């Protein structure tokens, strides 16, 4: 018994064939071949209020300039954190969903700005 090829059928063409979309190429859609873009899997619930859940995949753009209101990946005293970036009184601040905002200082590095979110297993 052979495998179904799709081109060796008899009878009428399926009316649903007009509605079949091509396979989505996420690497192309998200431009993942561009330098400075990295997929990062979320661990924890730091930004659940922003709709970012554990297991989500974020596209981190290490080449992007900081933008107030955007989510970023930062290093705080050697720990990785997701936070909303805010510009206030000419200073950058990081706000995770819990805890107080933290002013960006010498011991904090804003590594990347989040440009997309991919959720699997919905």
Q: Model confidence over 61-114: pLDDT tens digits?
A: 999 999 999 999 999 888 888 989 999 989 999 988 777 888 898 889 999 999
Cβ(65)–Cβ(103) below 8 Å: no
Q: What is the structure's pLDDT at 17?
A: 65
Note the pLDDT of residue 120: 81
What pLDDT shows up at residue 9?
A: 58
Residue 8 has a pLDDT of: 59
Q: Tell me what percent of the residues of the chain surpass a pLDDT of 70.
A: 84
Answer whether 0.85 is exceeded by the pTM: no
Q: Go through the domains of the chain in sequence order and give each one's CATH number.
A: 25-118 (2.10.109.10)
Q: What are the tens digits of pLDDT across the range 14-43?
A: 666 667 777 877 777 777 778 889 999 988
CA–CA distance, 56 with 41 (Å, rounded to integer): 6
Q: Which residue, among 83, 93, 14, 9, has the nearest Cα to 49 in the 3D structure?
A: 83
Q: How far is residue 76's CA from residue 86's CA, in Å, rounded to a whole number?
A: 16
């Amino acid at each position: 018994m052979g495998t179904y090829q799709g081109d060796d059928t008899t009878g009428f063409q399926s009316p649903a064939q007009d509605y079949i979309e091509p396979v989505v190429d996420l690497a192309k859609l998200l431009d993942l071949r561009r330098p400075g873009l990295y997929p990062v899997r979320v661990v924890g619930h730091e930004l659940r209020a922003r709709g970012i859940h554990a297991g989500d995949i974020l596209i981190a753009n290490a080449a992007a300039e900081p933008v107030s209101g955007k989510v970023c990946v930062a290093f705080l005293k050697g720990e990785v954190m997701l936070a909303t970036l805010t510009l206030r009184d000419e200073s950058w601040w990081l706000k995770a969903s819990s805890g107080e905002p933290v002013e960006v200082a010498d011991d904090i590095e804003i590594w990347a700005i989040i440009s997309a979110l991919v959720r699997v297993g919905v």
